[in-house]
Amino acid sequence: MLKDARESTILPQLAQIDQKLTAMAHALAETPMLSHTHGQPATPTTVGKEIANVVHRLRVQVKAIQGTEILGKIAGAVGSYNAHIVACPSADWPGLASRFVASLGLAFNPYVTQIEPHDFIAELFHACERYNTVLLDLAKDMWGYIAKGYFKQRVVAGEVGSSTMPHKVNPIDFENAEGNLGIANALFTHLAGKLPISRWQRDLTDSTAMRNLGVAFAHSMIAYSALLKGLGKVEVNESALQADLDTNWEVLAEPIQTVMRMHNVESPYEKLKELTRGRRVDAAGMRSFVATLEIPEDAKQRLMDLTPGSYIGAAAQLARAI
C-alpha cells in the first residue's frame, strides 16, 4: 500500500508542486521585493528567489521520500523460520523469503520479529513531515504576503469571499493547506514515533495505529491540492512591492557601510546606525550622506546609483538557476 501510494499518488502530486513553483521562480526572478527579518524591513530580494528557496528545500525532501526503501519480511512467528525449518529442513528459507519479497517489488529485511519493525515507515514519514513543514512555511508566508498586498488574488466567479463581508477575498486556499498540513504532520509524527516500538517480539499497538496511514496521506493530498489552487489564483502586485521598496531607503545602510569599510572609512557601522536606526531616510537623505564620503569616485557613483529595487545581489540569477 505504501509503495503504491508513494509511486502512483504522492510523488506525481509533489512533481506538480515543483513544476508550479519552479515556473513562478523563473517568471518572477527579477521582481524586486523588500525582505523582512524579525518582521522588520531588511535587505531586498526578489520574489522569484524566495520561491526558488522553497523549491530547493522541497527537492531535498522529495529525494528522501523517493529514497526510502519499502521493506518486507517472511520469517515466521518470531523471525527465525522455526516452523519452516521443522517442516522442511532442507529448504533455504532465508533465500526463498528474500526472493519472494523481492518479487513483490519490496526490499527484504532479514532481521525481524513477528513483524517487520516499521523503521522504514518512520523514515518515510519523517521525510513526508519535513516536506510538509516546508510547504507549511510557504503557506504561512503566502498568507502574509497577501495580507501585505504583495500578492493579489484573482476573483473566482461564484466564490464566497467572506460570509459577512462581501468585499473580501480571503486567502482560504492557503489557510486550508495550513490546516490540513498540520493534521497530516501530527499523524506522521505520532506514527513515526509509535510504529517502531513493539513490546518484545510483538504487540498489537501497531495494528490499530496503522489503520491511520492513509489518513495522514489523505490530509497531505488535500493540502497539496489547496496549495496548488491558491498558487494558481495569485498574481504579483508590483506597485505595492515598489512602494514598499521606495519607502525603505534605509536598507541601503548595509551596502554603504560595507563599501566604507572596504575603503577604511572610520566607524562605518556606527555612522550608518546614527543616520538610519529607527528612522526613515529618503533617497535624497541617503545620497546626501554618500556625497560626503571620502571614497574613490567609482565606488561613490556605484552607491549613488543604487536603489532599494536594484540592490538585489545575485537573487535573479539564483532564481533562474533553480
Please measure the distance between the N-terminal and C-terminal CA atoms of the chain and give it in whole angstroms.
33
Measured CA distances, 295 to 46, 57, 252, 274, 312 (Å): 29, 41, 17, 19, 23
DSSP letter assigned to residue 39: T
d(CA 176, CA 180): 6
d(CA 250, CA 187): 45
Nearest in space to 71 (alpha carbons), one of 113, 114, 117, 129 = 117
Catalytic, out of 8, 26, 36, 38: 38
Catalytic, out of 36, 103, 162, 267: 162
38 labelled catalytic: yes
Q: Which helix (H) or strand (E) holds 131?
A: helix 119-148
The catalytic residues are 38, 162
